[in-house]
Amino acid sequence: MVTLTGVVTPYLQRLAEDTGETVWFLIEEYGVGVYLEHAAGKATHQNSTFHRGRSYLDCHAGGKAILAHLLAERVTVIIDTHGLPAMTENTITSRSALSDELDGLVSKSTLRTIASNSRVLKQ
């Protein structure tokens, strides 16, 4: 039987080793992020206190990556339900600023995917 941990953990470990940081696998559930698995890098200062925890999606890179790939209508429902609470002084709290950032993430992600696919095809 294939398990989520069996599939995700090797990728998380490799990313943690490459970056030295703690990396997380999270999903969106009911409009919030749920942290399912993580791997700690050598340079990390975090612990696993978020494991199975929840967070607003707009407050961190992983959540923004999820929001950037959802339908606009779903993002609107999430914001209407949970708002855009300021978690730090750098948290985006306006719809238009968040929309601009999410649009930028989609563009960068698309370019990275194209570049990555090009490298794979050339090998």
Q: Are residues 75 and 35 in the same domain?
A: no
What's residue 109's pLDDT?
Answer: 62
Q: Which of 35, 52, 69 corresponds to the end of one domain? A: 52
Range of the domain at 101: 58-123
Per-residue pLDDT band for 31 (boundaries 50, 70, 90) equals: very high
CA distance 116 to 101: 22
What's the pTM value of the predicted model, to 2 decimals? 0.77
The answer on pLDDT for 20 being more than 60 is: yes
Q: Are residues 64 and 45 in the same domain?
A: no
Summarize pLDDT for 39-61 with one digit per residue, the tens: 988 876 655 555 668 999 998 88
Q: Are residues 10 and 48 in the same domain?
A: yes
Q: Are residues 32 and 88 in the same domain?
A: no
Label each residue of 40-99 as H, E or C.
Answer: CCCCCCCCCCCCCCEEEHHHCHHHHHHHHCCCHHHHHHHHHHHCCCCCCCCCCCCHHHHH
Q: Are residues 46 and 2 in the same domain?
A: yes
Q: Are residues 10 and 34 in the same domain?
A: yes
Q: Are residues 27 and 72 in the same domain?
A: no
Q: Are residues 65 and 122 in the same domain?
A: yes
Q: Are residues 99 and 81 in the same domain?
A: yes
Rounded to an integer, the average pLDDT of 73-102 is 94
Rounded to an integer, the average pLDDT of 91-102 is 93
- How many Cα atoms occupy the beta-carbon half-sphere of 33 within 13 Å? 20
Q: Are residues 36 and 69 in the same domain?
A: no
CA distance 20 to 34: 22
Q: Are residues 67 and 120 in the same domain?
A: yes
Rounded to an integer, the average pLDDT of 90-113 is 82
Q: What would you report as the CA-atom Rg of the chain, rounded to the nearest whole angstrom?
A: 16
Distances from the Cα of 123 to the Cα of 14, 91, 110, 117, 118, angstroms: 21, 41, 20, 10, 9
